Chains A and B, each alone.
Chain A
């Protein structure tokens, strides 16, 4: 099977087979062609060459409808939802139950709701059919995606990076679901960057590199090291080398902060925390517990309802982004494509987003294009941003390089405090290594780093101190050697009764 996008060969003569009742993992770096291969299978793209067989018969899959008819279901890497519609509507969309005997296809909403509930009960996926997609957590959305495939009686289920956005606990639960599906005879393709879970759940592994298949191996006998070598083509160091922290004076102090979310509900309810110079403080928590609002309040994007934020003693509460900026806060946004970058802007223009108001980038309100070019020249090479020159639009970069671009800009502003919100989301192993290295560098340079992450792995390996946020409050503080389980309990609100930790 070969797929070309103009000059880009996304899949180069890839052979891939899937057996009934197996979990087949697909591994590869960012841009290796995993999603493309699956999209071809699901009829979103048509193959440039090659063919697909289902149950031994050659088939043509020209559209998702064909794929659905063949019993193929897909959970997309980027969720495919209608955010303003309810869960039930999203699930039934495309094969809706209608009132029988009446013309015009009048929706039978009762039946839809009931069928969805039945299905979710069968697999132990608790969902509320009437909730709107945009109002539920990412983990819930993930479940809805799976349900949707099941609703269509999928025999072949493609899961494209389903765990990237889940918490440890949710991942465990997902694994259970996958095993149950497998027992039912469903064949599953499982794409992930997390080698551990691949080894845990998969039967066989196929590795793609630059669009080519590097071969298929059984999971039994493979190790994380051996898989990583196949993916990247070299050895990867998993443990981070870092010195013990030598924290200094507190830089950021947040006390009793209350912040409303977009719907006017209180998302942060009295958070208190501090970050000192020379330490990485990680904020761990399940998505949707007020992290976003907290970060936005600290970085000046969102106006807090009450409380106090100071940087080096200067009060910046509710003073806006510019105040936070001049107080020395840099911000690696969680959504690089929407918040971190202006995609149609050139790389140079994007790099100037933080400093454009001051010389040398501008004087008296007028820009200095030469200074922009110079800045870009310096940063692009220093941070090894590949995929385009200073004049190329940021949209043309791959996700990893876009992230490097953001990091370059923020670190170059020479901040006192670096707020990194999910800085490695969706990145491959190599890129993660790079980002982590930079964060530690900053810490060692005496800066404060506030890391907000959903991945306990990342939290534990990077942080000097771990804070757990739950329902808008900091409920626990752990040293870096806390166990996954301790963290997990605290993150789901059990910290206070667990009694093993001190509430912050």
Chain B
């Protein structure tokens, strides 16, 4: 039997255009960093020139419909580089150094990133199995409260993590039960989970800790300094000294989850079930059982992110303390195209720009408030400029009905 003819895949000669686009993007990137430490060019001129060149090249690339996104990116980056460079050149060198102390930015960026990593990994696992998990926020919040509660009651941060994860897993189980057995609309169920979690944690918090809040003497998830890293310049101050155990765990989990999804039998099956449950079931896979496990694990992971927030970073619990982080994690899932590595990139972009946003107050107290929007603006630009359309697991959100 011969291979069926398909249209040949020869591309029109567009490769140079792509090169131009990439080159322009790189130029724009250089224009960005010239005025920042460690280079610290004290005049805006080179950046402006580079920015204009990048924008011009980008405009040329824009005309090719196939490389519109790349061109747009180059134009955008190039144009933004100009005011950025002007602003930096006008600031005192000391101020600029103070804001862009990269090691410190990385260190505090990691604290923003950590809960998001856990949340995003949880989201990926759930959605890859075909269950949309809007409830990440609520599951994370459960981890926040029960992590603290567990650490307090058991006098052990490790048990705090376990209990926090169990609480999140329990909520995941509820979501799974409604989504899978009761064929609930998963968005609705997830939204409910979020409301429920705020109420439940608030209720238990008041009932348990009353007006005084959580005690200040909890066993907290410790920070660890890695002996070798400690002494390396730049890396040392950034991550070597005193990075939380859970941050390391989170970073480690990214390749682990990736490997699980794409290199193991269970991962292959999970993805198959999330794409075409009916097809998966015709080869004998257990759709419902797999999804149960996935959603529960998802809740547990998100909850560990919550434990990091409460018992790792803050050392205390507060009402609704996740403050939208679960939704940011959800955005990271989509941003990262349901891939752990992509999601890590998204959470890093978000975390580091959050960290930077606080430091930017050094330039202007009044504008400092506006700078707080930086991570959100950057994420929006990055998603629009780089990601574009992303394709969810085909069966995500659709109740699976087995006759």
Contacts and interface: CB of A to CB of B under 8 A. Distances in A.
Interface of A: 42, 44-46, 63-65, 68, 74, 76, 79-85, 89, 93-96, 98, 104-107, 124-126, 128, 136-137, 139-140, 143, 148, 170, 173, 176-177, 261, 264-267, 269, 286-290, 470-472, 492-493
Contacts of B3: 126, 128, 140
A126 B2 CA distance: 7
A471 B276 contact: no
B268 A89 contact: yes
A267 B5 CA distance: 12
A493 B276 contact: no
Interface string B263-287: 1111011011001101111111100
Given A45-B403, A137-B6, A493-B5, A83 B284 contact: no
Nearest to B403: A45
Contact of B282 (A64, A177, A286, A492): A64
A265 B7 CA distance: 8
A290 B7 contact: yes
Contact of A107 (B1, B8, B268, B280): B268
B170 interface: no
A492 B5 contact: yes
Contact of A472 (B7, B263, B283): B7
Given A46-B403, A93-B283, A80 B278 contact: yes
B395 to A, nearest CB: 10
Interface string B12-51: 1000000000000000000000000000000000000000
B66 to A, nearest CB: 6
Interface size class of B (residues with CB under 8 A): 20 to 34
Contact of A80 (B6, B12, B271, B282): B282
B4 interface: yes
A108 B271 CA distance: 17
A104 B394 CA distance: 26
A474 to B, nearest CB: 14
Given A85-B275, A105-B265, A264-B66, A170 B4 contact: yes
Contacts of B66: 264
A471 B5 contact: yes
B285 A94 contact: yes
Contacts of A85: 268, 271-272, 275
Interface in B346-403: 391, 394, 403
B398 to A, nearest CB: 14
B280 A82 contact: yes
20 contacts: A45-B403, A80-B276, A83-B275, A83-B394, A85-B268, A85-B275, A94-B269, A95-B284, A96-B268, A105-B266, A106-B264, A106-B265, A107-B264, A136-B4, A136-B6, A139-B4, A170-B1, A173-B1, A265-B7, A286-B5
A289 B246 CA distance: 54
A265 B9 CA distance: 6
A137 B268 contact: no
Contacts of A76: 282
Nearest to B267: A107
Closest 3 CB pairs of A and B: A94-B283, A65-B284, A105-B265
Contacts of A68: 283-284
Consensus secondary structure, chain B interface: loop
A12 B66 CA distance: 56
Given A106-B263, A124-B1, A80 B7 contact: no
Interface of B: 1-9, 11-12, 66, 263-266, 268-269, 271-272, 275-276, 278-285, 391, 394, 403
B284 A63 contact: yes
Contacts of A267: 7
Contacts of A104: 264, 266
B5 A470 contact: yes
- Count chain B CB atoms within 10 A of each CB in A68, A76, A93, A290 and give the residue with the most: A93
A81 B268 contact: no
Nearest to A303: B65
A137 B276 contact: no
B127 to A, nearest CB: 14
Nearest to A124: B1
A167 B391 CA distance: 32
Contacts of B280: 82, 93-94
Contacts of A82: 271-272, 275-276, 279-280
B276 A81 contact: yes
B1 A93 contact: no
Given A64-B284, A74-B282, A104-B264, A93 B4 contact: no
A94 to B, nearest CB: 3
Contacts of B285: 93-94
A44 B4 contact: no
A60 B218 CA distance: 58
Contacts of B269: 93-94
Given A107-B264, A176-B1, 19 more contacts: A44-B281, A44-B282, A44-B403, A45-B403, A46-B403, A80-B278, A83-B394, A89-B268, A95-B284, A104-B264, A105-B266, A106-B263, A136-B6, A264-B66, A265-B7, A265-B11, A266-B12, A267-B7, A289-B5
Contacts of B272: 82, 85, 89, 93
- Which of A84, A94, A136, A137 has most chain B Cβ within 10 Å? A94
Contacts of A84: 275, 391, 394
A391 to B, nearest CB: 24
